[in-house]
Amino acid sequence: MVPARLKSLAKIAVGVGERLQAIIAVEESVVRRGMNKTGNALKAGILVIVMALAVPALAQTAASPADQPAAAASTAPAAPSAVPLAAEAPAPADAPARSVVPQSTIPHDLSPWSMFLSADILVKAVMVGLAFASLVTWTIFLAKSIELFIARRRVRTALKRIEPAASLQQAHSLLEGQKSVLADFIVVAAKEMQVSRSVLSDPAGVKERAATSFAEIARTEARGIRLGMGTLATIGATAPFVGLFGTVWGIMNSFIGISKSQTTNLAVVAPGIAEALLATAIGLVAAIPAVIIYNHFSRATRGYLDLVGRASGAVARLVSRDLDRASGAMMSRAAE
């Protein structure tokens, strides 16, 4: 290794000597032409250039041969280990930790029942309350449907029975043992006629008192037939908002879970949001039938109250006939 370095140094020295000889030859030619000053300047410049080119080469070749093998030995094994070091390089300390959600924590069954079981306790309470409200709605629907059907049939049957009656006494005998609002009207009218027997000379007063009694019976019947409709109105108006409250609470819990798990994976977020939306769905299931049933019963009760008004008018006509008969009898007795 050392003889090779010496040979290279010798070659460089020979090259430098040849350049100096060429410079000297140029200088002699310049002197011959009488340009001593210019030749000296040119000689100095060429010497500076030659030295600038030769010094780096000499410094590079004059490096210690013992250092070069050591440097080669220290750098040679580093090349194959570069890839493992890059692979094993730790992540920066300020880099956010990536959380891996285990597959066992992600629910695969998103049926309504499984979503109810995995929902928050408050959302469960909202769902149970809405389900109970829906049960109450359908219970009222069945009960009121049966009640209205029976009440309408009784009033229609009673109206048909008293059509041939010419007095309250005949009507009462035709409806004996039957329960209906028409029978109540007849009982009240007969009682008023009995109480006002001594003042039958004033038929207007008797009719007015009988009419007020009929109005009280009609109002009582209206309150009874509308019983439960306020509950339907309340359920229809508030159930969607109760379900929306459960939805807002469930979505809030879902976002809290996102912040804790530090992941926006849809498979992790979707179950909580689906559980929250289930509360709104149950609220709509409870509210929509309640509104429809309330409107249906509003029309049905108006129809039934029209029948009650017809019954009141029929009894009032019977009262008027009885009063006319009594007035005619009294006038005939007075004429005699």
Average pLDDT over residues 281-288: 92
pLDDT digits (tens, 9 = 90+) for 22-51: 666 655 664 465 444 444 544 554 554 545
pLDDT digits (tens, 9 = 90+) for 179-223: 888 888 988 888 888 887 776 667 788 888 888 999 999 999 999
Cα–Cα separations (whole angstroms), residue 194 to 140, 179, 242? 41, 22, 57
Region label for 34, one of left (φ > 0), alpha (ψ between -120 and 50) or beta (otherwise): left
Q: Please tell me the predicted confidence (pLDDT) of residue 88.
A: 41
The candidate with the shortest Cα–Cα distance to 122, out of 238, 243, 259, 235, is 243
CA distance 314 to 203: 17
b/e per residue 84-99 (b: at least 16 CB within 10 A): eeeeeeeeeeeeeeee
CA distance 326 to 336: 15
CA distance 301 to 148: 8
Of 110-119, 161-170, 274-283, least confident by mean pLDDT is: 110-119
The candidate with the shortest Cα–Cα distance to 189, out of 212, 157, 173, 166, is 212
The candidate with the shortest Cα–Cα distance to 272, out of 124, 119, 127, 123, is 119
Confidence of residue 335 (pLDDT cuts 50, 70, 90): low
Average pLDDT over residues 99-107: 47
Cα–Cα separations (whole angstroms), residue 1 to 7, 8, 68? 10, 11, 11
